[in-house]
């Protein structure tokens, strides 16, 4: 009886803490919901602040962190409809629907819809859906790919992954993952590190109990 009471109390406590906490990943995914008339400089500032918090919380190595911090956002590309872009560089993309980009470098991409990129390098991606990338790291440094869905990459070099529904990579070269329980590769290995959640849905009682006290796997 006491054990049952303690378990119920633990679940209630976790739910209460979760309700009061704020999650950086969720906060960034609110940016696409803002009106298209939002001040561009303010939007860029908000995105950069959120990204900085994420880099700190993940403990990204200083060299890699410096590379991301050198991203100099020139303007904002925003759309509520499916978006198709040929090339972006040093830009902030804010999308609410499916987005397809041929070449993306040195940019921050925040999308609530599914995202596909053919060639990617040194990007910070926060997606509320699935992410599909053909080549990451082929245009310079690898990217930080954060997804509430599943992430698939054909060739990944020096990529950082945070995919709560798992990742599949054909060729993984120096790839590191965070809070990504399911990891599949055809070639290469992916180490996973458990960190503070970026999304509230990760803190569901059954998952929270699994994360407690785990440093990595």
Does residue 216 fall inside a structural domain? no
What's the mean pLDDT in 88-110? Answer: 98
Domain count, the chain: 1
pTM of the model: 0.86
> Does residue 65 lie in a domain region?
yes
The model's confidence at residue 4, banded by pLDDT at 50, 70 and 90, is low
Is 4 among the domain residues? Answer: no
Whether residue 69 is contained in a domain is answered as yes
Containing domain of residue 142, as a range? 23-211
pLDDT tens-place string over residues 123-165: 999 999 999 999 999 877 999 999 999 999 999 999 999 999 9
164 lies in some domain: yes
Strands (E), 20-123: 76-79, 83-89, 92-95, 99-105, 108-111, 115-121
Residue 162 lies in a domain: yes
pLDDT digits (tens, 9 = 90+) for 39-64: 999 999 999 999 999 999 999 999 99
pLDDT, one tens digit per residue, over 8-23 is: 544 444 444 444 468 9
């Amino acid at each position: 009886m006491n054990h049952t009471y303690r378990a119920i109390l633990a679940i209630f406590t976790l739910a209460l803490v979760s309700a009061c906490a704020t999650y950086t990943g969720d906060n960034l995914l609110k940016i696409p919901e803002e009106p298209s008339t939002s001040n561009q400089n303010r939007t860029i500032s908000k995105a950069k602040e959120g990204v900085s918090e994420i880099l700190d919380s993940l403990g990204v190595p200083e060299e890699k962190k410096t590379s991301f911090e050198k991203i100099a956002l020139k303007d904002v590309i925003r759309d509520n409809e499916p978006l198709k872009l040929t090339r972006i560089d040093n830009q902030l993309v804010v999308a609410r629907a499916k987005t397809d980009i041929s070449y993306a470098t040195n940019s921050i991409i925040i999308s609530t819809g599914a995202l596909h990129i053919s060639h990617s390098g040194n990007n910070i991606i926060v997606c509320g859906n699935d992410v599909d990338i053909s080549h990451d790291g082929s245009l310079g440094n690898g990217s930080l790919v954060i997804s509430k869905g599943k992430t698939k990459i054909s060739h990944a070099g020096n990529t950082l992954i945070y995919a709560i529904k798992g990742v599949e990579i054909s060729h993984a070269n120096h790839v590191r993952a965070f809070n990504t329980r399911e990891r599949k590769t055809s070639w290469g290995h992916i180490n996973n590190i458990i960190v503070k959640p970026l999304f509230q849905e990760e803190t569901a009682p059954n998952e929270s109990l699994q994360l407690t006290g785990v440093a990595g796997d």
